[in-house]
Amino acid sequence: MTTERIGPPAVADEREMLRAFLDYHRATLAMKCDGLSDEELRRQSMPPSTLSLLGLVRHMAEVERAWFRRIINGEDIALVWSDERDFQVAYDASSATRTEAFDAWQAEVEHSRRIEREAPSLDVTVHEPKGDEQVSLRLVMLHMMHEYARHNGHADLLREGVDGTVGA
């Protein structure tokens, strides 16, 4: 599998720009996993951490699901790998496969894209379930970019540890 990653435009309206940067970060995570076997994708960084590339993909499926489906769309659904809202459970990919992880992640990304496209504006605001704080779709998209950027840094190091591939 080879991932095509399209750079965000230099000039665009706010929504198009946010969408493009988020998709760029999503593609970066997929690109870091290209060409690796299930075993290589499960390779953990260093004890005691269970972090792996496959664990990052599973974690980002949970994050997409939580922010877009649960918070913005108000869906009352469990996380994929944890009934207790424990995002860390997804990191344990010791018995996971590329197919299982990527199918879940790609399904959540498609849900997220649909929810974002159907929202009338970035100013759509919802009450965050943990309290009285309001969050906008704009905040969620920016938060997702932050999540991906942070974890893509982890993915850089994990990939280098697997086969020496660095960059981009």
Q: What burial letters (b/e) apply to 143-162, b meaning 16+ CB within 10 Å?
A: ebbebbeebbebbbebbebb
Q: pTM above the 0.85 mark? A: yes
Tell me the mean pLDDT in the region 50-56.
Answer: 93
Q: Tens digit of pLDDT for each residue in 128-162?
A: 666 667 889 999 999 999 999 999 999 999 999 99
Q: CA angle, 122 as apex, 29 and 69 as ends, to 5°? A: 55
Contact between 52 and 41 (Cβ < 8 Å)? yes
DSSP-derived 3-state class of residue 23: helix
- Give the CATH number of the domain where residue 39 resides: 1.20.120.450
Range of the domain at 154: 14-163
Token pair of 19 as six digits: 């969408």
In a domain, 116, yes or no: yes
Q: Which helix or strand (DSSP H or E) is residue 141 part of?
A: helix 137-163
Rg of the chain in Å (alpha carbons): 16
Could you tell me which of 21, 116, 24 has the C-alpha nearest to residue 67?
116
Q: Where do runs of H (alpha helix) occur along 47-136?
A: 53-64, 98-118
In a domain, 5, yes or no: no
In a domain, 55, yes or no: yes
In a domain, 97, yes or no: yes
Residue 2 has pLDDT above 70, yes or no: no
Confidence of residue 1 (pLDDT cuts 50, 70, 90): low
Structurally, the chain folds into a number of domains equal to 1
In a domain, 105, yes or no: yes
- pLDDT higher at 126 or 119: 119
Q: Tens digit of pLDDT for each residue in 75-117?
A: 989 888 877 777 777 778 888 999 999 999 999 999 999 999 9
Give Cβ neighbours of residue 129 (< 8 Å, ≥ 6 apart): 70, 71
In a domain, 77, yes or no: yes
In a domain, 168, yes or no: no
The per-residue pLDDT for 130 is 66
Q: Tens digit of pLDDT for each residue in 57-67?
A: 999 999 999 99
